[in-house]
Amino acid sequence: MTGDWRTDRIGAALKGENPTVLRRLTAGFAVIGDVQFLPGYSVLLVDAPDVQRLSDLPRAKRLSFLSDMDRLGEAVERACQRLDPAFRRVNLEILGNTDPFLHAHVWPRYDWEAADVVGKPVWLHPQERWTDTEFQLGPRHDVLRDAIGSELDQLTGRV
């Protein structure tokens, strides 16, 4: 996956040009992560590029964003549980330390993770996992993409 969409992920999603978009939700976009060392890693992007913090949103949209985060988390949980018997749980995080726009990370966690990181924040996984081409999003993740998208559809009643 290449192109300028990475420099403006939200703008590209709004234009239909972000290839990681799984579904349009109420207050944002469910996208699959660029890196998949924890298969199913997904992100909820707010649909307003100038929004930096949850508190920047009006109350109703803030609650919609949190509801979307819950929905994406449950969809990832269901899909990953179905595809990998070693699935443990989902971690949900709104951090905002690197990217200047509101987004929420949805991290599936597995029993097969190394003992020194399995019970710790995902950010403690070895740095090379974040850039290793073995874990970059690609066609081999299509089954996973479809599974998460299907779960999102079921959770929003579109099936």
**What would the pLDDT profile of 144-159 be if each residue is shown by its tens digit?**
999 999 999 999 876 5
pLDDT at 20: 96
pLDDT at 159: 53
Q: Which helix or strand (DSSP H or E) is residue 9 part of?
A: helix 9-14
Average pLDDT over residues 80-105: 94
Residue 139 makes CB contacts below 8 A (sequence gap 6+) with none
What residue ranges do the domains of the chain occupy?
A: 4-152
4-152 is a CATH 3.30.428.10 domain: yes
Burial of 128 (0-12, 13-18, 19+ CB in 10 A): exposed
**Residue 89 pLDDT greater than 70, yes or no:** yes
* pTM as predicted: 0.93
